[in-house]
Amino acid sequence: MSSGSLQVSGRWRRVRGYVVDLWNRREFAWFLGMGNLKARNASTALGLAWWALNPLLLGLVYFFVFGLLFDRRIGPGDLPFVSYLMSGMFVFHFTAQSMTGGANAVLQNSKLLANIRFPRLILPIANLVEAAVGFLSSILVLYLLAGVLDGLYPGWTVFGLVLVVPLHLVFNLGLGALVARLAVPFRDINNFVPYLNRIWLYLSPVIWPLSFLEGKDPGKVALVELNPMYHLIQLYRWAFFGSPVEAKTVWSALFWSFGVGVVGIALFVRHEGKIVRYL
């Protein structure tokens, strides 16, 4: 066997061993994420409800500002503005929380890293667990709003969440791992993340309707469509309410989810051995 084949074989053994180690510690990741979730909301009266209330209240602000400017129904499938706005807001909030949590995942667990040996990717995974539990609970709030205010109820496309949510999880894990990797040697990233999230929100089809792109310069439209959230949010609106979706949106969501997931995880794992020296 050639040296190149031996190197590839050894690399795959290390990857397989790492994945097995992660799987064996899955309960650790779950309890760490849930522990962080409970601790974060322990001092508030409403607890976990704030996960849904934060994007809900922010959406309410945007509704009062932009609800007067837009028609009652906007976007593909003519969704009522409240359902259009809140579906995008909850989805984006999930990614924003994963990104913000990723920036703090390693830094807030420095003592754990110094005293216990485990795959460091557990920390971004635990952060993802924390954000995912809040997001899944917010879907119930979304359907409650859509049903009471707009008369929209789940159709057969709701089963598409079985495909869309895993894609979103892979994307958010890669993004959180990437930010966690950068935040350790570059602590200033924590201060930039909220501003990046706000800019990202305005560039995503959360507040503004997709009809804004009609008749625009093709170059500007192509630039907007490079935004991963542009495609993920459209997929979610299809799953939530049956809004029409194009094939290129599906392929773009697949590309971004697995692309960001693989790159973010690979960079984190490759450099995780150097994390402790920066703490």
**What is the residue-averaged pLDDT of the chain?**
80
Measured at the CA of 135, the angle between CA 129 and CA 138, to 5 degrees, comes to 145
Residue corresponding to tokens 């949590």: 101
Would residue 258 count as lying in a domain?
yes
Would residue 200 count as lying in a domain?
yes
Q: Which tops the pLDDT comparison, 213 or 202? A: 202
Would residue 8 count as lying in a domain?
no
pLDDT the model gives residue 262: 93
Yes or no: say if 99 and 193 are a contact pair by the CB < 8 Å rule: yes
**Mean pLDDT along residues 21-36:** 81
In this predicted structure, the answer to whether residue 161 has a pLDDT above a threshold of 90 is yes
Q: How far is it, in rounded angstroms, from Cα 168 to Cα 174?
A: 10
Strand partners, 73: 80
Would residue 138 count as lying in a domain?
yes
What share of the chain in percent tops pLDDT 70? 82
pLDDT the model gives residue 29: 81
Would residue 159 count as lying in a domain?
yes
In this predicted structure, the answer to whether residue 73 has a pLDDT above a threshold of 60 is no
pLDDT the model gives residue 174: 94
pLDDT the model gives residue 66: 65
In this predicted structure, the answer to whether residue 114 has a pLDDT above a threshold of 80 is no
pLDDT the model gives residue 49: 66
Residue corresponding to tokens 């050894």: 10
**Which residues are within 8 A (CB) of 141 and not within 5 positions of it... i.e. 6 or more apart?**
52, 56, 90
pLDDT the model gives residue 6: 47
Measured at the CA of 145, the angle between CA 141 and CA 151, to 5 degrees, comes to 135
Would residue 17 count as lying in a domain?
no
pLDDT the model gives residue 16: 80
Q: Measuring CA to CA, which residue among 243, 226, 227 is closest to residue 235?
A: 243
Would residue 224 count as lying in a domain?
yes
In the DSSP assignment, the letter for residue 177 is H
Tell me the residue type at 216.
K
Q: How far is it, in rounded angstroms, from Cα 164 to Cα 254?
A: 9
Would residue 148 count as lying in a domain?
yes
Q: What is the pLDDT of residues 53-70, one digit of tens each?
A: 777 777 777 776 666 665
**Residue-range definition of the domain harbouring residue 202:** 27-278
Number of domains observed in the structure of the chain = 1
Q: How far is it, in rounded angstroms, from Cα 230 to Cα 249?
A: 8
In this predicted structure, the answer to whether residue 132 has a pLDDT above a threshold of 50 is yes
pLDDT the model gives residue 167: 94
pTM: 0.85
The total of other beta-carbon atoms located within 10 Å of residue 138's CB is: 24
pLDDT the model gives residue 214: 73
Q: Which tops the pLDDT comparison, 48 or 122? A: 122
Q: Measuring CA to CA, which residue among 25, 15, 14 is closest to residue 117?
A: 25
Residue corresponding to tokens 């959360």: 206
What share of the chain in percent tops pLDDT 90? 20
Q: Which tops the pLDDT comparison, 75 or 196? A: 196
Question: First and final CA of the chain: distance in angstroms?
Answer: 42
